[in-house]
């Protein structure tokens, strides 16, 4: 979840890079499993060398388990749920073919900025509705509010992900950062973003849910 200032400066360059990535991923066989990792810096591999982020590690893990997967990195560092909602349509349209599964991992930046939980819910609801309209299976990678935001905000925010997963008949992985959040050994020096081992832990945690969803 990169700082919003960095996101604003890099947004156009990141979007251009996503277009190139989608074009490269398009010509694959019909029997292959195509997955879109749609999120923020947690899926974009912020601060990590190319090939070590969430999407490539998940793809490698699935292939080790016999699934010929192609995981497209649709993460943009700094994205809120609203920003993800705004780019979802063209992201899908630029992929060349419909993904078999989308992993939606947004909301963390909303929480860090203290945005109203109702706004996050509305934007996440719209994202899941669009994926449902396009008949794309979904795994919702949930987030949890930091304790310092208070119990009232936490109660509202934390309900968003299970509520919407049920509403849209999506699979739910309750907390994307399970086993990583709060563990300095799993994070970059900024104490926020996961390092290689942190991403590996995240992939190992969500892998059974992803395999079941595909």
Domain ranges (residues) in the chain: 4-23+30-213
pLDDT tens per residue across span 134-146 = 999 999 999 999 9
Confidence check: pLDDT of 205 > 60: yes
Rounded to the nearest integer, the mean pLDDT of the chain is 89
pLDDT tens per residue across span 153-193 = 999 999 999 999 999 999 999 999 999 999 999 999 998 99
What's the predicted TM-score (pTM) here? 0.85
> What is the third-level CATH fold of 4-23+30-213?
Rossmann fold (3.40.50)
Distance CA 54, CA 76 (A): 12
Q: What is the pLDDT of residue 5?
A: 32
pLDDT tens per residue across span 39-89 = 999 999 999 999 999 999 999 999 999 999 999 999 999 999 999 999 999
Alpha helices in the chain (DSSP H): 4-25, 41-44, 54-64, 81-93, 108-112, 117-133, 151-167, 196-213
């Amino acid at each position: 979840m990169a700082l919003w200032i960095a996101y604003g400066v890099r947004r156009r360059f990141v979007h251009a890079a996503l277009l190139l990535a989608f074009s490269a991923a398009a010509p694959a066989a019909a029997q292959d499993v195509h997955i879109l990792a749609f999120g923020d810096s947690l899926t974009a591999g912020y601060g990590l060398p190319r090939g070590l982020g969430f999407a490539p590690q998940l793809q490698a893990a699935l292939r080790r388990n016999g699934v010929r997967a192609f995981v497209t990195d649709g993460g943009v560092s700094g994205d809120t749920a609203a920003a993800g909602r705004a780019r979802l349509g063209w992201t899908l349209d630029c992929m060349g073919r419909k993904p078999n599964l989308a992993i939606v991992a947004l909301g963390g930046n909303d929480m860090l900025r203290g945005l109203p939980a109702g706004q996050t819910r509305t934007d996440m609801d719209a994202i899941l509705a669009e994926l449902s309209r396009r008949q794309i299976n979904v795994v919702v990678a949930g987030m949890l509010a930091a304790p310092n935001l208070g119990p009232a905000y936490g109660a509202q925010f934390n309900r968003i992900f299970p509520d919407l997963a049920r509403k849209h008949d999506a699979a739910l992985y309750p907390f994307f950062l399970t086993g990583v959040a709060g563990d300095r050994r799993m994070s970059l020096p900024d104490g926020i973003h996961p390092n290689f081992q942190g991403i590996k832990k995240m992939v190992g945690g969500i892998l059974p849910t992803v395999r079941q969803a595909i």
